[in-house]
Amino acid sequence: MALSKKPVTGMKDILPQEMAIRDYLIGQIKETYGRFGFSSVETPCVEHIENLSNKQGGENEKLIFKILKRGEKLNLETADSEADLVDSGLRYDLTVPLARYFANNAGQLPMPFKALQIGSVWRADRPQKGRFRQFYQCDIDILGESSSLAEIELMLATSTLLGKVGFRGFKIRVNDRKILKAMANYSGFEEAQHDTVFIILDKMDKIGIDGVANELVESGFAPEGVAKYRTLFEEMTATADPLLYLTEKLKEYIEESVMISLKEMIESVITCAQADFEVLFDPTLVRGMSYYTGTIFEMEMPEFGSSVAGGGRYDQMIGKFTGIETPACGFSIGFERIVTILLDQGFVPPMEKAKVAYLVEKEVSADKLCTILKEAEEQRTQGVQVLVAKMNKNKKFQKEQLTKEGYQEFKEFYQTPLV
């Protein structure tokens, strides 16, 4: 049987043109986030299955690539349940591994700790444009900082990065899980019903307030509660200051300090921003991860039409490893989506070094080739990137392909000089 030359569904081969963009983006990420004081860390791609399936990863826990036990630990004949077969899985994000990493190494790390992670994650998802089963994520997290300084730094760093790469006019939408819960409580929804309410609310941008209200009623929620919930959104939308409106309306259901902190956070980011973007309060923002405990945010680009970055505060996750609650907040950019946008735009990374291609006639002698290689080495010591390759029969096509890879100059070498 012939071997398959295509990659596994949902995964892809990366050609040099795209790889150049990816390398450039990674370089910008490390340089920009490094200036904000973030330190690069790395965690294993394989995690304990109990860490990945602890009811904090939302829908992602249904998409885990699970790994069978190995050697003597795996006995297919006596296995009665999945627990007898599986003990680990490929990570579906970088946040859960970071929480374990910090719990294991906290004594050797500064507090607060600002972490930068770039690496592959895996989800058994339905592939589509900009969405794969193996893909890169890029996270920045601040651990050990309970104040809104963490959120402000994360938003400023991420917006600075995207501005440097050339994006303009994007939006950061901000909300707080405490506000979501307060609005649900105000409307009379029971705590056990909140997750269902939020899942439906998350569809607001697609089905509107009418659709949300209808779906809540269809899901069994009391019509009077749904009407109260709907009125809350309609009145808030009609006001000039939605946060001020909610501060007054929800004063019996939420601490005023939550609203004040969120307002100050938004104003601080707007005041200190170095890039062209908006920051706005969005009470419909939910985010699916159940580990979020406070502030949540997403970033949208008009070029993509959906979120390209997101994150929030997850103050309870590290405590599940250590028994000690540790404040934590993170922001993840959609690395693959940004690469897709840049590819669609025909983006070419700026060349830091000259790239020259030496095309050598196939019939040149060993002595002649040695002379050419020495010349190439002299150029490399001066900072020039030199490719030495045999000249193809279709030289024009060869040059066209090399031009796509950024080669701006070509030198041709023959055994006998052309007349």
pLDDT at site 277: 82
Domain boundary pick from 321, 344, 367: 344
Residue 188 shares a structural domain with residue 261: yes
Tell me the pLDDT band of 204, cut-offs 50, 70 and 90: confident
Residue 208 shares a structural domain with residue 72: yes
Out of 294-308, 319-333, 388-402, least confident range: 294-308
pLDDT at site 126: 85
Q: Does residue 329 form part of some domain?
A: yes
Q: Is the pLDDT of residue 415 over 90?
A: no
Q: Is the pLDDT of residue 419 over 60?
A: no
Residue 300 shares a structural domain with residue 400: no
pLDDT at site 73: 74
pLDDT tens-digit series, residues 363-393: 888 888 899 999 999 988 888 899 999 999 8
Residue 366 shares a structural domain with residue 338: no
Dihedral over alpha carbons 202, 205, 208, 212 (to 10 degrees): -10
Instruction: Select the more confidently predicted residue: 111 or 288.
Output: 111
Tell me the pLDDT band of 77, cut-offs 50, 70 and 90: low
Residue 267 shares a structural domain with residue 360: no
Task: Provide mean pLDDT across the span 351-370.
Answer: 86
Q: Does residue 381 form part of some domain?
A: yes
Residue 124 in contact with residue 9, Cβ under 8 Å? no
Q: Is the pLDDT of residue 226 over 60?
A: yes
Q: Does residue 36 form part of some domain?
A: yes
pLDDT tens-digit series, residues 91-122: 999 999 999 999 999 999 999 999 999 999 99
Residue 79 shares a structural domain with residue 103: yes
* pTM for this predicted structure: 0.85
Task: Provide mean pLDDT across the span 45-50.
Answer: 95
Domain boundary pick from 284, 313, 344: 344
Identify the helix (H) or strand (E) that includes residue 355: strand 355-360
Task: Provide mean pLDDT across the span 30-41.
Answer: 95
Task: Provide mean pLDDT across the span 253-278.
Answer: 88
Residue 313 shares a structural domain with residue 380: no
Residue 252 shares a structural domain with residue 374: no
Query: Where in the sequence is the domain holding 132, given as residue range(s)?
Result: 16-344
pLDDT tens-digit series, residues 144-171: 999 999 999 999 999 999 889 888 888 9
**Alpha carbon 56 to its chain's center:** 18
Q: Does residue 8 form part of some domain?
A: no
Instruction: Select the more confidently predicted residue: 321 or 306.
Output: 321
Tokens of 180: 């979501």
pLDDT at site 363: 87
Burial track 93-117 (b if 16+ CB lie within 10 A, e otherwise): bbbbbbbbbbbeebeebeebbbbbb
pLDDT at site 184: 93
Residue 134 pairs in a beta bridge with 122
pLDDT at site 240: 87
pLDDT at site 213: 92
Residue 358 in contact with residue 388, Cβ under 8 Å? yes
Q: Does residue 2 form part of some domain?
A: no
pLDDT at site 381: 87
What is residue 59's DSSP assignment?
A: G
Residue 361 shares a structural domain with residue 340: no
Residue 339 in contact with residue 345, Cβ under 8 Å? no
Residue 259 shares a structural domain with residue 360: no
pLDDT at site 188: 92
- How many domains does the chain fold into? 2
Domain boundary pick from 344, 371, 403: 344
* Residue located via tokens 């309609």: 234
pLDDT at site 289: 66
Query: Can you state the percent helix, strand and coil of the chain, rounding each to 5?
Result: 45, 20, 35
Q: Does residue 101 form part of some domain?
A: yes
pLDDT at site 86: 86
Q: Is the pLDDT of residue 79 over 70?
A: no
Q: Does residue 5 form part of some domain?
A: no
Residue 129 shares a structural domain with residue 152: yes
The CATH number assigned to the domain holding 287 equals: 3.30.930.10
pLDDT at site 181: 94
Q: Does residue 380 form part of some domain?
A: yes
Amino acid (1-letter code) at residue 390: K
The C-alpha atoms of residue 94 and residue 99 are separated, in whole angstroms, by 9
Residue 275 shares a structural domain with residue 181: yes
